[in-house]
Amino acid sequence: MPKTVLTGLRANGELTLGNYLGAILPMVQTLQNLEEGDKFFLFVPDLHSFTTPIDHTQLYRNSLNNIKIYLASGVDSNRENVFLYRQSHIPAHSELAWILSCFTYYGELQRMIQFKEKSSQQGQNVSVGLFTYPILMAADILLYGADYVPVGEDQRQHLELARDLAIRFNNKFGEIFVVPQVWQKQLEFVKRVEGTKIYSLTDPTKKMSKSINDPKGTILLTDKPLDAAKKIMSAATDNLASINWDWNNQPGITNLLQIYALLKNIPTHEAVKIWKGQTQYSNLKKETAELVVEFLTNLQARVSKITDAQAEDILQKGEINATKIAKQTLLKVQKAVGVVKSQ
């Protein structure tokens, strides 16, 4: 059965190692295993990028940078079934989001953990966009019939909302949407045992995040490799003198083990086996830092070879092709809700 895979990363700042390991790496690994008939949608949710305040003079550039990072990470835009595009350049995303919003319950959005967390950081001026953005995300997914959506653990609840909306809509109007796979199947698809969440190196109980000002805890994909190595070497750990996979009691060590395993492309249980029994943390830090240096050096070299004009050309082609698919789904929805004649 052909599969449809879709994912996107907001252009609200510089991408982090968390973004890479949680979303880009599984996507690239997935792309290597695509089979005949599979489709792969990779986009920049630029309309999502200002649900929280940003510097708008940087948005266009950040969108292009995201595309360059996708390409430099190994996405081959010449493959026929690979679509790269910006959300804002395909109006069907916004149109479907409005229709879906009329079938989404207020209480459902109120339960979204990301909304609770991000709105609590922002004081008085929380935008309605931050509240409703999971609906736009559902539209992003449902327009293209995505079965698999490689995202980090933090996006799990939003993906589940997309599933709920697809099921609700189909129950009312017939089989309009493909229902994305459940979370467990999503993990199996990207060959991971648990959802990926990379934590801050200064406070390993908090997510590494591109919009939080935590320079020592965050590795940006544009960091100088040696600066990034220093951040790993000074990562907060504990004084238990033992290396274990234990998010509750040793979150700093477990976070390092996770980064180590993903960059080395080995399962986490293997990484744990390698380090089990060691009583000092310096070697784990050193080897993880070396992996980070190698990874950043290679990625940055590849990014620097891609010009703005190349990225824009790829986007234009992708946007024409993705629009055709998005419009077909939107038309079905418009007929279902009665704004377009159904026969």
Just list the catalytic residues.
118, 207, 210
Q: What is the DSSP string of 288-325?
A: HHHHHHHHHHHHHHHHHT--HHHHHHHHHHHHHHHHHH
Closest to ligand AQP by CB, 68 or 336: 68
Residue nearest to ligand AQP (CB): 22
Closest distance of CB 188 from ligand AQP, Å: 17
**What is the closest distance, in whole angstroms, from the C-beta atom of residue 160 to ligand AQP in the complex?**
13
Question: Of the ranges 13-21, 102-110, 223-231, 318-326, which one interacts with ligand AQP (CB under 6 A)?
Answer: 13-21
Sign of the CA dihedral 69, 259, 271, 195?
negative
| Residue 187 is a binding residue for ligand AQP (CB under 6 A) | no
Nearer of residues 3 and 158 to ligand AQP, judged by Cβ: 158
The beta-carbon contacts of 330-337 under 8 Å, at least 24 apart in sequence, are 330/92, 330/95, 330/96, 330/143, 332/176, 333/96, 333/99, 333/169, 333/176, 334/99, 336/169, 336/173, 336/174, 336/176, 337/99, 337/173
Residue 180 interacts with ligand AQP (CB under 6 A): yes or no: no
Q: 4, 16, 181, 288: which one contacts ligand AQP (CB under 6 A)?
A: 16
Query: Across-strand partners of 83?
Result: 41
HSE-CB at 317 with a 13 A cutoff on CA atoms is 12
**Interface region with ligand AQP, contact rule CB under 6 A, candidates 77-85, 147-155, 162-170, 262-270:** 147-155
User: Interface residues for ligand AQP in 260-319 (CB under 6 A)?
Assistant: none
Enumerate binding residues for ligand AQP (CB under 6 A): 9-10, 12-13, 16, 18-19, 21-23, 45, 151-152, 154-155, 196-198, 207-212
